[in-house]
Structure formats: structure tokens, C-alpha cells
Amino acid sequence: MEEDRCDERLVNELKLTDINVDCLEHIFMHSTVDDFVNIAHTNTQLKPAADLAFARKFGKKKFYFRVESLYPDDLSLTGEEWIIVHDLQTSLRLLRCYGHLILRLHIDYQKQLRPAPIKVLRYVNKFCYESLVEISFHGIFKFAFESAMKKPFSNVQKASFTGCHLGTRMTRFNDWYPALRRLDLIHNRFDDAPSIAEHIPNLEHLTFVGGGKISATDILAVVRVNPQMLSLSLNRVYSARFFRVPSETLPQLESLELRGYPDDFATFNGDVVNFRTVKKLEIIFKSYGGITQWVSTIKLSFNRLEEITMDLDIYSWVDELTDFLKRHQSIRIVNLRWSNENTDAVSDYTLSEIAQALPLLVELNFFGPGCPIDSTIRLLNNLKLMSYGFSVIDRLEFDYVKTKLGNKWEASIDGRRVQVLRAN
């Protein structure tokens, strides 16, 4: 009895700080972001174990700082790939305590709290300048950048700016991001757009979407100083003369993405430009007949094209699309998107045209309203596809597909999205 009382007394006297780091780490793995912030402010002796648990649990997630209030109101929102922090106090405490463990983050400017992005960015620059490998900004104004940025982010490989105002100092990207490999510029304002090419000499991936007074000449200047570029994404189509530069100066280019409107094609004049190394092509034009006009007006050719993604913004398949596929029989993967509710866009005729044009086709994916199920079944039975993706109306339709497919195929569903793989 005396021994039991002693053991009970020892347990009662045991403090959390008496537990070894490994056990504490295991305990802290059940904590939320808000719990971790509180732990860090409770006792410095708990911090090493909290660091280990935080890195394991949240190290690979992307943190979104979207400050809408000054003080904690609701708990931070945690998803499978991301964590959203809504209040300034938690944002600053989180960055101060665990910023050195955060790898990916996004800073979003909410207009109701104009000083917030300055404070958050200042803490990011102070506590995350060595840890980050990816950073993105949305709606950040020039003064916030100028007043908060003091140190370069030495290990950031991917930087994205959307709707921001960048002064001359901030567009010296190689000074602020010496390890930068991917740059996304989406609807920004620039004080000195022509000088951008002088400060990004090591890019492998570039995305440029409109605005900012960046001209075609400015974009080509960036292309010319980055011959190692692997992917290029543009939101409008320029002239054949424009495309000739990347086709001739980017010997390693593997991916080309084009978005825009058919009116942008007017200056192309039917000249042919050949891309010898591009394996992946995405063409998205949000207007009626955009793809049709693209293939009939713009004469781009590809020697090694393996995957193509197209917006099927028309109601039926057209001969121009079939001709384009026939000219590029190396294509193995086709992704088709459409936004209208008319599923005639995917018919037996459509599928037959794709299959006959592409003898090496192994994967076909449709994105949009539900596909005709009977056409889907006939397609899989007649082609040598290894993978097929499409959408269904509901679970009952998915069950019907599984029944019809039999044992030759393995089917899975995520929401309304179905993926079918050929069984081994």
C-alpha cells in the first residue's frame, strides 16, 4: 500500500516538462496550429519537442496568411494541403515561434486591415528568410514590400505575384531570391518592366498573365537570358515572329501553355513555327470557337508532342481539331475540357476521331459535365487505353460504370470525378 501511495504521489508531482522530448513530440502531434502557438508561449522548455512535432505535422503544408481581424476569433482553418490563418495576432506569433520551420507560404492583402500585410511580411522576412522554398503574394502594395523587405530569401525556388505593385527594387528578383527557378507574374503593376530581364537569369519556369505594362519585347528579353527554361505560360498569343524566339532560343523547353482570345491571332499571318522539344501543350481560350480558330489560324508544329490539353468550348468535334491531332501522332495523352452543359461535345464520333488520329494514345481525360456512359464503355472496350478519366452525375452512375466494365478495369471515384485504370 505504501508503494502504491508513493507511485501515486510521484505521478501527481510529475510535470509536463519532466517528460522526455520523444514522448512530448508524440503528445504534441495531436495539437492544432493554435495549440502550438500557445505551447510556445507557455514554457520555453517545451519548445524543442513542439518544434519537432510542428515540423512533422505541418512542415509540408502551405500557410495562407489572410488577415481579416486583429485578434483570434475562429480557429485557424486546416486542410489537407494548406492552413489558413485569419487574424494578425496568431499570424505574428506563429511566424515568430515557428517561421524557421515553414517551407511554403502565401500572403494575401485584405483591404479592411491595410497595415496587416506590412507587419506579416516584416515577420516573414525576419523569421522565414532561410526556411522558405516557395512564397506567393496577392494584392500586396508597393509600400509594404519597400518597408518590410530587408533580407533576401536565400532558398526560395518558386515565387508568385498576383495583383501586386512592384517597384524597381522589388523586381531585382535575383537579389531577393538568388535560388529562384520558377516565377509567376499575374496581373501586376511594375515601375520598371523593361529591367526585369536583367534580374532573372536562372529561370526554368515562367508564367506571365497580362497587365503591368510588360510588352512582348520585355517577355522575349526574359526568354533570351534564360535558355535553360523548361516551361513557358502566356495568357495571350502573339505573332509568329514572337514565337520564333522561344522556339529557337529554348532548346530544353518541354511545356508550353497558351491562354487568350481568338482576336489575338490576327497578326499571326499563317506563318509556321516549329517547337522541336515541347512535349506538353495546353491551349485554353475562353470564347466560342476559340480552339477551332486557334488550329485553323496559328501554325505551330511540334516534333515530340506527347500530351495536349484543350478547351472544348464548342458543341461538336471539328475537322480542324482532327487534322491537328493527325499532324502530331506522337501524342499519348489527351485532356479535353468544356464548360457548356451540352454533352454532345463527347460522342461516339468524337471518341472515334481521337482514336483514329492517335495510334499511340494511352490516356484520355474529359473535364466537364457528365460523359455519355455508353460511349465511355464502348471506348474502353475498343481502344488500348491504360487510363481514362471522366465525370459522372452521381454515385449510381459510377456503380453502373463499374458493373459494365467488369474485371478488366479498376475504377475509383473522388466526388464526381472517375478514374479508370486497366487492371494488371
d(CA 419, CA 95): 40
Neighbours of 65 (CB within 10 A): 27
Sign of CA pseudo-dihedral 244, 247, 249, 250? positive
Under a CB-based contact definition with an 8 Å cutoff, are residues 133 and 156 in contact? yes
d(CA 235, CA 261): 9
pLDDT attached to residue 9: 44
Cell, residue 357: 488520329
Angle CA 71–75–80, to nearest 5: 135
d(CA 173, CA 171): 5
Cell, residue 117: 500585410
d(CA 57, CA 74): 21
What amino acid occupies position 243? F
pLDDT attached to residue 276: 95
Question: Consecutive sets of 10 residues in the chain, 424 residues long: mean pLDDT of each?
Answer: 45 56 75 85 82 90 89 69 90 94 93 83 96 96 93 97 94 95 94 89 92 82 95 81 91 92 56 91 71 67 94 66 90 82 62 86 80 72 81 84 83 87 83
pLDDT attached to residue 13: 54
213-217, long-range: CB within 8 Å, 24+ apart, which pairs? 213/189, 214/185, 214/190, 216/242
Under a CB-based contact definition with an 8 Å cutoff, are residues 388 and 400 in contact? no
pTM, full prediction: 0.85
Q: Are strands 387-391 and 417-422 parallel, antiparallel or unpaired?
A: antiparallel
d(CA 33, CA 144): 26
pLDDT attached to residue 299: 76
pLDDT attached to residue 104: 97
Burial tier of 253 (Cβ tally within 10 Å: 0-12, 13-18, 19+): buried
pLDDT attached to residue 11: 45
Q: Estimate to the nearest angstrom the gap between the alpha carbon of 74 and the chain centroid.
A: 27
pLDDT attached to residue 121: 95
